[in-house]
Structure 1
Amino acid sequence: MLSKLWLHLKRYKFKYITLAVLVSAIIFAKEVLIDIVYIEKQYEKNRIITPWGEKIKSGNLSVDYSIEQALTDIERLGLNTVNVPVQIDIPSLTANAAVINEESQKKAIELIKKLRLRGINIILEPYPYIRNGELYETQLDPSNKNEWFTNWQEGVLSPLIHDIAKPYKVYALCIGSNFDKFEQESNYWTNMVDFVRAVYPGRITYKTNWWYTAEWDTQKNGLHNTYTAKLNNPVLEKVDFISVAAYFELTNQDINTVENLVSALYSTQIFNRHQNVYAELKSLSMKWDKPVFFGELGFPKRNKGTIHPWDPEPSNLVNEQEQANGFQAYKEVFEKESWILGFSVFAIGKDDEFKNYYPSDQSIRVINSWYR
């Protein structure tokens, strides 16, 4: 009798436990569905639709960004996207090895979780950090290209896709940035895009560095050769949009009006090059029928900031208005172009005495008004 009673109790207990588990599962599923709907609504709210199409309004995070500052900057600048870097440690300019920095990856994931809840899109970028950040990726020239590309694909892109890009549904993956010395290794790069396309459903881009041409240069292998090589690089046919780090040298003057900078974008003044930056970017877009995205757009808060925008300290004279004028000039020239996908402000997420590119109050007002 006691044994039968015990079996009945166990049976009822099991039913109650099963019912409790079922109720918990329903509640959990409902909460997940609510989260998904909330995120989708946030994404919809943060899309920027203009008469010229949907636009990206982004900011590049400094590698040493703080999450709190990043979230504050997103609000202040009115961004709908953030370029999130993951530090990739490279020991030298000729090294073939590239290793994901674990702490940087953890911080990126923590931030991306917060960004998704706010409906902010993410561009994920493996950020080359050469010899502890002392050297620039534009000078990287691996001694064995085959080994480097294998390491970059298997040791960098593959785990970033598996651990971040796919599970957190990032908007786009930048497969490489400003690798001037071996950007023309077209077979390697096109194979890289094919590999990424097979395992990652989001958008793919490659960020090419700025260039210069001169109307007086008529040599066969002169200044135009760099631009021609970029224009004809078959990897651009493979990507979804073309990213450009837009540090074009514009003027000869320490201080410039917006009007002068606008004019310089159609005909640069430095060294009388008369480079038509606008026309060359448009040709790049038309050649491959792909939109151009300013993957980095920034000016140091200094006199001469638009002479050499790539130099964080072209002068020791602080000039916040010169930086703002640079942003305003790009806004006036490119905001209404349908072939321009948008821009990413370089750089946000950390503001201290060494961050010469962090936008000034004047620049923030200009950036905030872009695509309003």
Structure 2
Amino acid sequence: MDYKPAKINGVSFVASRDSISNKHIKPVVSLNANYVAVMPFGFIKELQHPEIVYNTGRQWFGETNDGVKQYIDEFNKEGLSVMLKPQIWVWRGEYTGNIKMDSEENWSSLETSYSKFILDYAQLAQEMKVEILCIGTELEQFIVHRPQFWKDLIGKIRSVYDGKLTYAANWDEFKSVPFWSQLDYIGVDAYFPISNSQTPTVEECLEGWLEHKVIIEMLSEQYSKPVLFTEFGYRSVDFSGKKPWDYDRNNQVANLEAQVNTTQALFETFWQEDWFAGGFVWKWFHDHEKSGGETNNQFTPQNKPVELLIQKQYKTF
């Protein structure tokens, strides 16, 4: 397999209501990141609703086509590459992996709606010379029930976009995705459980990764494809390695050490592996000065000790 030695050292850049400028990108450059995930959203009313609404005047600027183009332009000016990662948001934040229609008619409508959604962004990605397009994020039931649709869709995407393709499979879904052979990267949202401790040590987390790593590497070998962590990261909260996907807005006191240790173990486990392409830390806000901070218990690494760890890691690779 032909791999570049440099890793994809990325951040998942959250769309805002405003345009961005060099001021918003400098902190990303200072992190030594070389890639940014730009994430426009389409909206679905409920898990059984087949229509995706996107690129409307009611959305934040960064979630619209004009916003996506403006963001990509600004990132490119600073030498940053882009993964375009259009995502679905279900009303009330229900899990996208559970999107599942209740009739053949609705499945067909969803397929039509999703095709339009992703092909619009594939054309935009081609126009803007985007390096990677992520064709979906955590859509397990949609894929389980309509595998042929997805295989055909990838062919349609390839006909309008000639960059690299991936799909962001959830950590408990990636083993069963039926179309990895058609993509360039095996994409994983890497929220694997790795420790049950309140403040996990690096050693515990390294141990916790062992069984997951074996399976991930085997899949890479099976398909002769590099693995890309389309999302990775931990909250600065107690038990950060137990259910890393949990994003509830609770008032728990921040645990900065837990976030640092879990993140360090992930870097030590994967970044030196030839079959591992890199990843995108979850998540990064445009207004760096006002984001994160040492009392924040959410995912962002901004203005927390883990930011320095990431900066050092990204510089090394």
| Separation in structure 1 between the aligned mates of residue 299 and residue 281 of structure 2, nearest angstrom | 9
Tell me what 2:279 maps to.
343
CA deviations on 1:112-169 (whole Å, 9 max, x unpaired) are 11111112111111111222x5323122223422221221112x1222223x211210
The secondary structure found in structure 1 opposite 2:93 is coil
| Separation in structure 1 between the aligned mates of residue 139 and residue 83 of structure 2, nearest angstrom | 18
The residue identity in structure 2 corresponding to 1:370 is: Q
Between 1:304-313 and 1:180-189, the stretch displaced more is 180-189
Inter-CA distance 355–172: structure 2 relative to 1 (3 Å threshold): farther
The secondary structure found in structure 2 opposite 1:237 is helix
| Separation in structure 2 between the aligned mates of residue 186 and residue 311 of structure 1, nearest angstrom | 28
| Separation in structure 1 between the aligned mates of residue 147 and residue 187 of structure 2, nearest angstrom | 16
- The equivalent position to 2:154 in structure 1, one of 185, 188, 193, is 193
Inter-CA distance 147–198: structure 2 relative to 1 (3 Å threshold): same
- Is the CA contact (8 Å cut-off) linking 1:255 and 1:322 kept in structure 2? yes
Write out aligned runs for 1:81-120 (5 A).
Answer: 81-102=35-56, 103=61, 104-105=63-64, 106-120=66-80
CA deviations on 1:320-355 (whole Å, 9 max, x unpaired) are 121111110011111110010001100002525877
Inter-CA distance 99–326: structure 2 relative to 1 (3 Å threshold): same
Structural RMSD (CA) = 2.2
| Separation in structure 2 between the aligned mates of residue 99 and residue 108 of structure 1, nearest angstrom | 16
- The equivalent position to 2:182 in structure 1, one of 221, 238, 241, is 238
| Separation in structure 2 between the aligned mates of residue 232 and residue 348 of structure 1, nearest angstrom | 29
| Separation in structure 1 between the aligned mates of residue 157 and residue 216 of structure 2, nearest angstrom | 26
The secondary structure found in structure 2 opposite 1:166 is helix
Tell me what 1:287 maps to.
222
The secondary structure found in structure 1 opposite 2:133 is strand
| Separation in structure 1 between the aligned mates of residue 220 and residue 17 of structure 2, nearest angstrom | 32
The residue identity in structure 1 corresponding to 2:188 is: V
Write out aligned runs for 1:206-285 (5 A).
Answer: 206-211=167-172, 230-231=174-175, 233-266=177-210, 276-285=211-220
Shift of 1:202: 0.7
Inter-CA distance 197–138: structure 2 relative to 1 (3 Å threshold): same
Shift of 1:52: 7.0
Inter-CA distance 84–98: structure 2 relative to 1 (3 Å threshold): same
Inter-CA distance 148–72: structure 2 relative to 1 (3 Å threshold): same
Tell me what 1:18 maps to.
none
Greater helix percent: which structure?
1
CA deviations on 1:65-98 (whole Å, 9 max, x unpaired) are 7635751431232111100001112111111111
* Corresponding pairs, count: 293
- The equivalent position to 2:114 in structure 1, one of 152, 156, 178, is 152
Tell me what 1:323 maps to.
259
Tell me what 1:202 maps to.
163
The TM-score normalised by the length of structure 2 is 0.86
| Separation in structure 2 between the aligned mates of residue 85 and residue 65 of structure 1, nearest angstrom | 13
Inter-CA distance 138–64: structure 2 relative to 1 (3 Å threshold): farther
- Is the CA contact (8 Å cut-off) linking 2:50 and 2:109 kept in structure 1? yes
Tell me what 2:299 maps to.
357
CA deviations on 1:158-186 (whole Å, 9 max, x unpaired) are 22223x21121001111110012222232
Tell me what 1:179 maps to.
139
TM superposition outliers: structure 1 runs of 4+ over 4 Å: 352-355
- Is the CA contact (8 Å cut-off) linking 1:52 and 1:336 kept in structure 2? no
Alignment identity in percent? 24
| Separation in structure 2 between the aligned mates of residue 366 and residue 284 of structure 1, nearest angstrom | 29
| Separation in structure 1 between the aligned mates of residue 16 and residue 297 of structure 2, nearest angstrom | 11
- Is the CA contact (8 Å cut-off) linking 2:86 and 2:134 kept in structure 1? yes
- Is the CA contact (8 Å cut-off) linking 1:89 and 1:101 kept in structure 2? no
- The equivalent position to 1:303 in structure 2, one of 238, 245, 249, is 238
| Separation in structure 2 between the aligned mates of residue 259 and residue 232 of structure 1, nearest angstrom | 30
